[in-house]
Amino acid sequence: MTTPSPHQTQAPFQTEGQFAKSPMLFFCDHASNTMPDELESLGLDERYLRTHIAYDIGSLDLTRTLVQAFDTRLIWCDFSRLLVDPNRSHDREDLIPNISDGIDIPGNHNLSAVAREERIERFFEPYHHALASEIDAARQHFEDPLIVSIHSFTPSLHTDHVKRPWEIGVLWAHDEPTARAFMASVTKRSDLTIGDNAPYDARGFNYSIDRHVKPLGLKHLTLEVRQDLLLNDQDIAEMADLLKGAIGDLI
13 exposed, middle or buried (CB, 10 Å; 0-12, 13-18, 19+)? buried
111 backbone dihedrals φ, ψ, rounded to 5° = -70, 135
Query: Residue range 3-16: average pLDDT?
Result: 77
Is pTM beyond 0.85? Reply is yes
Q: Is the pLDDT of residue 123 over 60?
A: yes
Dmax over Cα atoms in the chain, in whole Å? Answer: 52
CATH, range 13-248: 3.40.630.40
| In the chain, domain spans | 13-248
pLDDT of residue 7: 60
- Residue 8 pLDDT grade (very low, low, confident, very high; cuts 50, 70, 90): low
- Residue 5 pLDDT grade (very low, low, confident, very high; cuts 50, 70, 90): low
pLDDT of residue 158: 80
Render pLDDT for 149-163 as a digit per residue (tens, 0 to 9).
999 999 998 887 789
